[in-house]
């Protein structure tokens, strides 16, 4: 029992490892927050569905450093995003922009949802129509049984 308490205490003392290393943090808290906001919207190209802010991959670290360097150079948030899109394509954005290349991504989910709801409505109406009632023949057979 004592070893269990010691194990639980040891687990409580373990600190989580952060993806962001201390040498990447900017001295200016406003710039650091801007860098974190930008990094949260950029996809790690190694991990794919994880932002570079959350990823431990070496490429994600390099991209976080690049974002901070661009901000220190005076780039706007949009200029930093555009710089990365120019280098890596729109895939680097976790939320792709709406344009002629991505319009299918944006309309597919709502479109499929509407098709599914329409199908449910049609099936529901057909089912109610079939359950209309007994025919005269069936009603007569029922009365004979009673």
Task: Name the token pair of 32.
Answer: 């650091």
**CATH 1.10.8.640 fits domain 2-92:** yes
C-alpha 68/C-alpha 141 separation (Å) is 84
Q: What are the C-alpha distances in Å from 37 to residues 51, 81, 101?
A: 11, 11, 25
Q: Does residue 126 carry a pLDDT above 70?
A: yes
pLDDT tens sequence across 41-98: 999 988 878 999 888 889 999 999 999 999 989 999 999 999 999 999 888 998 878 8
- pTM (predicted TM-score): 0.59
pLDDT of residue 17: 46
The first and second tokens of residue 75, run together, are 């780039």
Query: Residue holding tokens 């709801």?
Result: 117
């Amino acid at each position: 029992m004592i070893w269990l308490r010691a194990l639980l205490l040891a687990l409580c003392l373990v600190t989580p490892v952060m993806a962001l290393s201390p040498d990447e943090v900017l001295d200016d808290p406003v710039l650091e927050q801007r860098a974190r906001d930008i990094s949260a919207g950029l996809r790690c190209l190694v991990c794919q569905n994880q932002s570079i802010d959350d990823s431990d991959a070496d490429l994600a670290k390099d991209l976080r450093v690049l974002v901070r360097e661009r901000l220190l150079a005076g780039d706007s948030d949009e200029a930093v995003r555009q710089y990365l899109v120019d280098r890596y394509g729109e895939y680097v954005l976790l939320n792709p922009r709406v344009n002629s290349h991505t319009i299918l991504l944006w309309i597919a989910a709502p479109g499929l949802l509407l098709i599914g709801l329409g199908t449910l409505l049609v099936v529901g109406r057909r089912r109610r129509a079939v359950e209309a009632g007994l025919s005269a023949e069936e009603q007569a057979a029922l009365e004979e049984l009673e």
